[in-house]
Structure 1
Amino acid sequence: MTSALPVSIEEEQEQAKLNAEASYMAQVVVWNVKMILTARNLSQASLASALGIKRASMSKKLKGEIAWSLEDLVKAAMSLETTPQKLMDDSLMREMLFNGVQNEKAAGGNTRPRLFVESVPSVGLEPTLRRF
């Protein structure tokens, strides 16, 4: 049985920094994939098919519950007619988030990003959800 070697505070901090960077890059990939899917009016199912996975697994990837492999990244880029580098580029995401344009989860569980959509105040003419 081997015992763990003592880890210095600096090593722990460096590992935490690396983990945070990896997590951030995963968020960037998810955000960029969602933006491209929305812009091209493509479904998660079509991308799942291109990656050779089930739609449920694609959904989990887009929620950050399943990690993106390099193979998935390359296949997604090819399917979306872009490059892996562009899927990992955070410039548009940073620009939009820093300018206060953030996408919120839409009603009904739709998590596709909505570009530049402002909420419209209710005027009382909206359909009800009651069943008669």
Structure 2
Amino acid sequence: MANIHDVISLKIGSQTIVPPAGPLGGTIFYRAPECELHYCAATRESDVWSVGATFVELFTGSRPWNVKQPREVKALLSSRTEPHALAMLSPTWKDIISQCLRYEPEQRPTAGTLAKVFRSGLDLNCLGW
């Protein structure tokens, strides 16, 4: 969802430091662990992670983890820590959203599955739109 497909290399004078540090892009609080930790290119599965992290913030008003520094998020991802803000969700929403935030990309729901879940259980009329 948010990925720069070029790699980022560090240069000191005319010397390029190898290996490159990319592909990178997006905001660390919403970037899937495989993209952040292993520099994998964005996929549909990593997009589902980003959507789940966005829903956490939408429904709780908090970032997924209650840390301030990006390096702290990287450490939490490395230790496979569940986002702290999931605890503030109702059990139903926690179940749906935590599936999006599974560390194994192949265990996350597809976008189509998420769309079915939201169409079947989300009454937008209650939002006053």
TM-score (norm 1): 0.31
Higher strand fraction (1 or 2): 2
Which has the higher relative contact order, 1 or 2, with Cα contacts under 8 A spaced 6 or more apart? 1
Higher gyration radius (CA): 1
Higher helix fraction (1 or 2): 1
